[in-house]
Chain A
Amino acid sequence: MKIDCGHYPLMGGFDELLEAPGKPRSGAGELCDFFAGLTPEELEARHRAVDAAIMAAGITFTVYSEAGNIDRTWPFDVVPRILSKAEWDRIEAGLKQRLKALNRFIDDLYHGQQIIRDGVFPAEVLADSKNFREACIGANPPFGVWAHICGTDLVRDGDGTVYVLEDNLRVPSGVSYMLENRQLMKRLFPELFARYDVLPVDDYTAQLYDMLASLSPRAGDRPEIAVLTPGVFNSAYFEHSYLAQQMGAHLVEGPDLVVLDDDCVYMKTIEGLTRLDVIYRRVDDEFIDPEAFRADSVLGVPGLMRAWKQGKVGIANAPGSGVADDKVVYAYVPQMICYYLDEEPILPNVPSYLCMHEADCEYVLANLDKLVVKPANESGGYGMLVGPKSTSDERARFADLIRANPRNYMAQPTLSLSTVPTLCEDAIEPRHVDLRPFILQSKDFYVTHGGLTRVALRRGSLVVNSSQGGGSKDTWIVQGVC
């Protein structure tokens, strides 16, 4: 089991490390040499060490299934994915531009809705939005920023173009795995880091802390910050506790908090109640306040919205930001960038067909076998139709779904996602990847150096979600490679 560049079975699309068999891309040569130089036994030993380290660290995620919740260890692949600093600089600028426009958009929707009045964004899309929160109308979060943490999914097509696939603005997860992956690589392949200038990723939690602290309603050096988790049974609980630990913040559940008559939020501590300044919520906004939203929620805190609207507590992401995390709204982001910022989009969208437009809808229905169809408001890769891999029954079912509720569906051409060499059972083979960088915004911007590269471990699969057989890789932004 060696990385032998000469016999690497390229899949025909864009490979992130190799231009052709035996021909590494600029900057990837050292990496390929290194892996080629390891004996199968050495590689196997390192691989086992990785598994043992992941097991010991308890880096897990939870998969919900009929048989109960299963705690799985995080599948990690040892071959890193490399991006040059020059390419990354452009991507980073594009990500900041995009989030800036999205935040202007959200703020506009909860105030004058100028973009609708100017005819750039259709009123009917907003009218059907599942994630527009009336309770947020007129709210003024600090800096006019609603989505403070964004996990944007990027993919690279066969011709090498990097597209934005979706903007995750509700409770994007994965950043802890990005940080853990780097730790693992440094521990297990230290000699590789001597050969490359890899930009560090460790800074993220300090940046996250600073961003959250900037939302504090009280002046002071050490605001009380908490990560609000649905609890230990949530699939991302590992990450919630990891981030709280790294920031020295509290990890709280809804029942740990209470809002009193003064509209401030308090934590129940061993000394009584302590005022809380900022909440990094990892609970969907529907559930955060049974007074304002779902009355049946036991994960939330009654009165939280009241406290937030009066500026007594900072919440990231602000309730209501999910309105821009919608696969139909996504299609309008390039127009938003022009409209709010008067700039050209740096990163292109994947061409999208919105079923709400009659012509698009007809095209989609006629080409279901070629397209990927997505519901507007699902995440985690659920409820999708991957046309080329679907059966005629599945296509018929989707056609009915689309006709019944065209606003809820959009479609995109099936991209031939780029690949990266991946250690499979008995060989190194190409596997499809995407990339999720994380962007922070409050009074400043911050973008992670790289992000989480997710890899579809099943041969030919395009689904990278960890809940559906995906794994991950360390992502390297490398200086001095052109």
Chain B
Amino acid sequence: MLARVGENLYWMARYLERAEDTARLINATTMMLMDMPRGASFGWEDLLRVVGLDEAFHTLYDEAGEMAVMSFLIQDERNPSSIFTCIRHARENTRTFREVLPRESWEWVNELYLYTSTHLGHALDRRTRFEVLTEIIRRRQAVVGLLAGTMSRDEGFQFMRLGRNMERADMTTRVLDVSYAINLPYQNSQYYDLVWMSVLHALSAHQMYRRYVGVHARGHKVLAFLLNDLKFPRSVRHCLHEIQFALDELPGVEPMRHLQGMLNRVDQADYRALAANGLHGFCDDIQARLADLNTVISQTYFRVAHPQKMAQSLFSLV
């Protein structure tokens, strides 16, 4: 597999995952806000902090009202992580390697783009937002399903799997980190449960949490579920395992070494203690390690640094 193609696949998967995660997050937040007391401090500003875009937002907009934040997160092309920008990037990337993907995947990604570009305006309006964002999620999931059902588990597939899970792990730690900070004022209030439940909602984890953990959203249990559950596909641990399986199928040893450290960290954490104190530092650490892993992946697979040298080592193997 060409290094350039591997890199494009990796980023294509990251962009699509980011678009879907953002859509899920917005849907969950919109729903939750309707349950909050009017005048509650959780607002659109916090949503920007969750996705780490509050600074970028304020260079372009004055006030973080619903319309402005929705426009920024959903359709603003100046925001490199807006749903529209992500899908457009993914589409452009898909074009450059149509030859390595099953043919329909380009058509479906293209249709996702066409749908998004014509319907996004309706996502600004609360009345139609849920429907449009859900349709985007559905179409993106269709692409994932198509690839799962028709693509050989080759290197290209593994790079997409890597990208998808790197992005998802990153999003999970972000949502946790910021939501926790926002929730602090509500410790011991009647909204406590509600706020932790909203974290689960934001990550589409509420149903599985209820089924496997319990109906009440307790801080440390939510943390353990979202960070260390083996079976829930959006938990950090699950994502790391997926990354591990993908790396198993790819050459190179350096990325695996970096991954191992992160797995140990998640595995050995004391979640009861974290729920009381230190979650921010913990999430920061995981995010920094993910960024490191991203760099190592890039150096290992995408940058053929010294062609002459690598070729010689290749010959010595033959």
Contact = CB atoms under 8 A, between A and B. Distances in A.
Given A270-B3, A270-B251, A271-B251, 13 more contacts: A56-B110, A56-B111, A57-B106, A58-B106, A249-B99, A250-B2, A251-B5, A251-B96, A260-B311, A268-B2, A269-B6, A269-B304, A273-B311
A242 B313 CA distance: 34
Interface in B290-318: 301-302, 304, 307-308, 310-311, 313-314
B317 to A, nearest CB: 10
Max count, chain B CB within 10 A of own CB: residue among A241, A249, A269? A269
Interface string A50-71: 0000011110000000000000
A244 interface: yes
A267 interface: yes
A55 B117 CA distance: 14
18 contacts: A55-B114, A57-B106, A58-B110, A232-B96, A241-B95, A249-B99, A250-B99, A255-B4, A256-B2, A266-B311, A267-B2, A268-B304, A269-B1, A270-B6, A272-B310, A273-B310, A273-B311, A273-B314
Contacts of B304: 268-269, 272-273
A272 B107 contact: no
Contacts of A268: 2-4, 304, 307
A201 B314 CA distance: 41
A92 interface: no
A256 B98 contact: no
B307 A260 contact: yes
A256 B302 CA distance: 11
Contact of A242 (B98, B307, B310): B98
B307 A232 contact: no
Interface residues of A, number: 30
A451 to B, nearest CB: 23
A263 to B, nearest CB: 13
Contacts of B99: 227, 241-242, 244-245, 248-251
A57 B106 CA distance: 7
Interface string B179-223: 000000000000000000000000000000000000000000000
Nearest to B250: A270
B92 interface: yes
Max count, chain B CB within 10 A of own CB: residue among A55, A237, A270? A270
A232 B92 contact: yes
Nearest to B310: A272
Interface string B150-171: 0000010000000000000000
A252 interface: yes
B13 to A, nearest CB: 15
Nearest to A266: B311
A227 to B, nearest CB: 8
Contacts of A248: 99
B2 A252 contact: yes
A269 B92 contact: no
Contacts of B3: 256, 268-270
B38 interface: no
Contacts of A250: 2, 5, 99
B127 interface: no
Given A58-B95, A241-B96, A268-B3, A273 B307 contact: yes
B103 interface: yes
A258 B308 CA distance: 9
B314 A253 contact: no
A252 B8 CA distance: 13
> Chain B interface mostly helix, strand, loop or mixed?
helix
Contacts of A272: 304, 310-311, 313-314
B97 interface: yes
A270 B97 CA distance: 15
Contacts of B110: 56-58
Max count, chain A CB within 10 A of own CB: residue among B98, B106, B308? B98
Interface in B35-89: none
B5 to A, nearest CB: 8
Nearest to A231: B96
A57 B5 CA distance: 21
Interface in A267-316: 267-273
Contacts of A252: 2
A233 to B, nearest CB: 11
Interface in B236-284: 250-251
Contacts of B313: 272
A253 B307 contact: no
A144 B225 CA distance: 68
Contacts of A260: 307-308, 311
A248 B313 CA distance: 28
The 5 closest A-B pairs by CB, nearest first: A245-B99, A244-B99, A268-B304, A272-B310, A270-B301
A58 B107 contact: yes
Max count, chain A CB within 10 A of own CB: residue among B6, B99, B308? B99
Contacts of B301: 270
A388 B5 CA distance: 50
Nearest to A229: B96
Nearest to A253: B4
B2 A269 contact: yes
A39 B314 CA distance: 66
B107 A251 contact: no
B201 to A, nearest CB: 33
B310 A232 contact: no
A57 B307 contact: no
Contacts of B250: 270
Contacts of A57: 106-107, 110
A177 to B, nearest CB: 15
A255 B5 CA distance: 12
A180 to B, nearest CB: 11
A433 to B, nearest CB: 29
Nearest to A243: B99
Interface in A22-62: 55-58
A212 B159 CA distance: 29
Nearest to A237: B95
Interface in A181-202: none
B9 to A, nearest CB: 10
Contacts of A55: 114
A260 B307 CA distance: 8
B243 to A, nearest CB: 16
Interface string A187-230: 00000000000000000000000000000000000000001000
B40 to A, nearest CB: 44
A272 B3 CA distance: 8
A318 B316 CA distance: 33
B149 to A, nearest CB: 18
A231 to B, nearest CB: 8
A261 B114 CA distance: 48
Max count, chain A CB within 10 A of own CB: residue among B4, B111, B313, B314? B4
A384 to B, nearest CB: 32
A253 B5 CA distance: 11
A56 B107 contact: yes
A241 B2 CA distance: 14
B77 to A, nearest CB: 15
A55 B92 CA distance: 15
Contact of B4 (A227, A242, A256): A256
B73 to A, nearest CB: 27
